[in-house]
Amino acid sequence: MGALSYSMFPENGEVHKKKTITEALDIRNTWDRFDSGWYEKLAREGYPQRQFTDKDQETWGFMPLYPAVMSIVSGITGLSLFTSGLLISNFCTFLAMLFLYKLSEEKFGKGIRTVTLLMISAGGFYLNIVYPSGLFVLLTTIVFYFSYKEKFAWALIIAGLASVTRIQGCLLLIIPGIEILLKYRQSSYKFLPAVLLGLLPMISLMFYLYLTSGEPLAFIKIQHAWGSSDLFPLQGFLSVFSGVRPGGSLTNACFWVIILGSVLYCYKRLPLSYIIFTVLYVLISTSNELLYGSARYMLGMLPVFIAISISPYYIRQIFILINILFLSLMISAFVTNTMTFL
């Protein structure tokens, strides 16, 4: 689909040029776009060693774990950073689907169905390209599975790694945290060392940014360079309906409504931690003035796919139809450098 779209459609703002089969099948030509270049730059150069400023776009806006792994794999294998990123994303996605299958099958009896729903979702292609989605989904599924198996200490530690893969990863501490409070309220203090280890990656990142740039929250404040104002929950929805600033996407707003509605519809069959995680995930992910990336962010929201898998047949079919349609549109938009639908 990507190669076909790349060969048939003009890139954003350019006159269409006919591409050869070799050009169309070149993975790098087709998929090395948008944030991929930023992750490669961060893997190659690290964060800037200078005073923080939000006047220009910089790698401060990207979390470090995925590019760090890219750099390690590239150094060991001799492969390019782009190729290393592809290998990491696809390997992590494979492992993530194994953990997701085990979680959903053992807890809900819907393993194959849940995995299928995630893989055909509108943002599913991000799992296989040079984006941190594959790694983030792997860490997320491990946290959910270890929490289900009551391996709470390991779940807290893995959640810490997820927090420096994508900012929403901080919310994963909620999954084992709530389960600990519900099941081990009197002895919850025993998990304090694991909680501290879970907080360590984010604290370390902030301390490093303070030492090298003078701004521990550089990864948040740099968003101004991409045209964002100060963040607050649900700001993206206001931009859709207020008309104050164009760019708020009604398509993305509809995706967020579907995401939240699907989990709330099945709230009686889902653990409390799943529901709280989903609500907070939506609040954080829509706090930007520009509402975008809903299909990509949805990949880390496992309760959504579990909720759809245990929903009535007609709901599953509507979800599948919408996602397959938008999967095609989003792939075409991505490979042609078009922000529409992304």
Would you state the pLDDT for residue 289? 59
Would you state the pLDDT for residue 340? 56
Would you state the pLDDT for residue 247? 42
Confidence check: pLDDT of 341 > 90: no
For residue 222, count other CB atoms closer than 10 A to its CB: 23
Would you state the pLDDT for residue 188? 87
Q: Please name the residue ranges forming H helices in the chain.
A: 2-8, 21-25, 27-31, 35-45, 65-77, 81-108, 111-119, 133-148, 152-163, 174-183, 192-213, 218-221, 235-242, 250-265, 272-285, 294-298, 302-309, 313-335
Virtual torsion, Cα 53, 58, 60, 61, nearest 10 deg: 110
CA atoms within 13 A on the CB side of 172: 36
Give per-residue pLDDT as tens, 79-118.
999 999 999 999 999 999 999 999 999 999 999 999 999 9
- Average of per-residue pLDDT across 174-190: 91
Contacts within 8 Å (CB) and 24+ apart, 328-331: 328/1, 330/122, 330/123, 330/125, 330/295, 331/1, 331/2, 331/5, 331/125
Give per-residue pLDDT as tens, 282-308.
888 877 756 667 888 889 999 999 999
Interatomic CA distance for residues 25 and 60, integer angstroms = 32
Would you state the pLDDT for residue 162? 97
Mean pLDDT, all residues of the chain: 86
Would you state the pLDDT for residue 246? 45
- Average of per-residue pLDDT across 123-152: 96
- Between 53 and 287, name the one with better pLDDT: 53
- Between 237 and 330, name the one with better pLDDT: 330
For residue 313, count other CB atoms closer than 10 A to its CB: 7
Confidence check: pLDDT of 229 > 70: no
- Average of per-residue pLDDT across 38-44: 95
